[in-house]
Amino acid sequence: MILLVIVEAIDTAMIETAYSWRNGYYIWIFIYSFLYIYVVIARRLIVKNLSQMSIFCKDVYENYYFSKQEGALLFVYILHVFICLIALLEVQLFQHYIIDSFPYILYAFSPLLTLLCLAEALLVLKLATRTVPVDEHVIRVKERRYMKKQRVESATQKDKN
């Protein structure tokens, strides 16, 4: 969640600058869309690198599992990439005088992005409010990790005595 907030904050901070790039704005949102995908896919690797600095990150790394909500978020972000790619292609066609208007950008682009933003918000809310994994396999893995940790701690105590 924190990683997504950071990516979103950078995106929001850059929006005015990206708007000033005129048609470059579509290149910006297309390329930046991949950062959202990266954050979802590489979350465990990112947190692993941060785990030496924070107990919270270490706990997140040890208890990581790929949830259904993350899969749905990944799907939303991939759709976002395709929607932005179509807009980018339309802008390029216009710049090269192949078409003389922006029908996709004028009529479909904004509503589609609005729907994706709504879906993303609902998925992030669902992801933030989940407390227990639904998958029974994940519960068993966590129980085994806990039991293994308990055995290591008790063996360490015996060695000290």
- Measured between alpha carbons, how far is 50 from 57 in angstroms, rounded to an integer? 6
Mean local confidence (pLDDT), 103-110: 93
Alpha-carbon gap, residue 41 to 75, rounded angstroms: 11
Per-residue confidence (pLDDT) for residue 133, from 0 to 100: 46
pLDDT at 134: 47
Q: Determine which helix (DSSP H) or strand (DSSP E) holds 19, and give its type and residue range.
A: helix 2-20
Which residue matches tokens 């933030």?
Answer: 128
Mean pLDDT of 1-28: 89
Taking a C-beta distance cutoff of 8 angstroms, is the pair 79, 44 a contact?
no
Query: pLDDT tens, 31-45?
Result: 999 999 999 898 888
Model confidence over 135-159: pLDDT tens digits? 566 667 778 888 888 888 888 887 7
Question: Please, what is the average pLDDT of the chain?
Answer: 86
Size of the chain, expressed as the number of residues it contains: 161
pLDDT value for 82:
95
Q: How far is CA 95 from CA 20, 47, 87, 126, in A?
A: 17, 42, 12, 41
Q: What is the pTM of this model?
A: 0.73
Q: What is the pLDDT of residues 115-130, one digit of tens each?
A: 999 999 999 888 888 6
- C-alpha closest to that of 40 among 82, 12, 13, 80: 80
DSSP 3-state assignment of 96? Answer: coil
Dist. CA 58–CA 159, nearest whole Å: 26
